[in-house]
Amino acid sequence: MNQDQLAPVAASGSRNLRTRIIAALVLAPAAIAIAWAGGPLWIGLVTLAAIGMYVEWLTIVGTAQERWTVAAGIAALVVSSLCLALGYDAVSLVVLLIGAAVVAAMSQQLRLWSVGGFCYAAAAAFAAVQVRLDGEYGFVALMFVLLVVWVTDIGGYFAGRGIGGPKLWPRVSPKKTWAGAAGGFVASLAVAAGFSAFGFGNLTSLLFLGAVLSIVSQSGDLFESAVKRRFGVKDSSQIIPGHGGLLDRLDGFVAAIVFAMFFGFLLGDANGIGHALMGW
C-alpha cells in the first residue's frame, strides 16, 4: 500500500478515535452520575443496557425476528429489575430462571444461543445491581470495577497501536496484540494503586483484584469477539458512535462485574459485596 492509499486510512482512523473520545466524554460522566445516585436510577440504567445487549445478541445469532423470544426475555429482565428495586433479590433470581425457561420454550431455532444471550444480559444486570447495593462501599467498588475495565481498554488500545507486535488471538480478534494486553494490565494496576493511595483498601489486595479483573475483562472482550466471529458479524450494532453496540462496549464490564459479584459473595462479608471487595 503506497502513501496515497495510506492517507485516507489514517484520516479515517483519526476521525474514528475522535468520535470514540467524544462519545466516551458524554457517556462516562452520565454513567458515573447515575451510579452515584444508585437506587432506581441505577437499576433502570442497568436494565435498559441489559435489554439492549439481549436484543443485540439475538441479532448477532440471527433469532431477533422471533418476537416471542425477544418479548419473553425483555419481560423477564423488566420484572426482575422491579423486584430488585423493591428489595426482593431472591424473587428477582427466580424470575430470571423462569425467564430463561420461557425463552427456551419460545425459541424456534438456535435455542441454546438465545438462552445464552438472555443469561448473559441477566447476569450482567443482576451483578451490577448487587455490587452497587452496599450503601457504604457499593459505589466505590462499582467505580473500581468500571475504572479497571475502562483503563484496561484504553491502555490496551494505545499500547497495541503504539507498540504492535504479535497478535493475541488473530483468528478471533485480528487487531488485539500481546502488547495491548500487557498495556491494559499495567494500567489496571495503576488504578488499584490509586484507590489504595486514597485509603479505599489494602494495596496488595487491590493490586491482586485489579490484575484479575483486567484479565477477566480482556477475556470477556475476546469471548464477545468469538461470538461475533462465529456468526460473521463485525459490530453488535451502531448505537454508540465510534464504539459499535452495547455488547461491543460492555463485554469486558459484563465479565468483570459478574466475577466481582461472585468473588465478593465468596468472601462472605456481612456488610455487603462492595465492602467485601474493597476491604478483604
Summarize the confidence of residues 152-179 as an average pLDDT: 88
Summarize the confidence of residues 249-273 as an average pLDDT: 92
pLDDT digits (tens, 9 = 90+) for 183-213: 999 999 999 999 999 999 899 999 999 999 9
pLDDT attached to residue 9? 42
pLDDT attached to residue 14? 63
pLDDT digits (tens, 9 = 90+) for 77-105: 999 999 999 999 999 999 999 999 999 99
The neighbouring-strand residues paired with 177 are: 167
End-to-end Cα separation, the chain, in angstroms:
54
pLDDT attached to residue 28? 87
Q: Band the pLDDT of 3: cuts 50, 70, 90.
A: very low
pLDDT attached to residue 1? 47
pLDDT attached to residue 279? 82
pLDDT attached to residue 160? 87
pLDDT attached to residue 56? 96
Q: Band the pLDDT of 6: cuts 50, 70, 90.
A: very low
3-class DSSP assignment, residue 183 = helix
CB-based contact 76:96 (threshold 8 Å): yes
Q: Band the pLDDT of 7: cuts 50, 70, 90.
A: very low
- Runs of H (alpha helix) within the chain: 3-37, 39-61, 67-85, 89-106, 111-133, 138-163, 178-197, 203-230, 246-267, 273-279
Q: Band the pLDDT of 135: cuts 50, 70, 90.
A: confident
Q: How much is the pTM?
A: 0.90
Q: How many other C-beta atoms lie within 10 A of the C-beta of residue 85? A: 16
Q: Band the pLDDT of 144: cuts 50, 70, 90.
A: very high
Summarize the confidence of residues 98-125 as an average pLDDT: 97
Summarize the confidence of residues 4-12 as an average pLDDT: 47
Nine-digit cell at 71? 418479548
Angle between helices 203-230 and 39-61 (to 10 degrees): 30
- What is the spatial distance between Cα 111 and Cα 89, in angstroms, rounded to a whole number? 27
Q: Band the pLDDT of 154: cuts 50, 70, 90.
A: very high
Of 48, 79, 38, the C-alpha closest to 250 is: 48
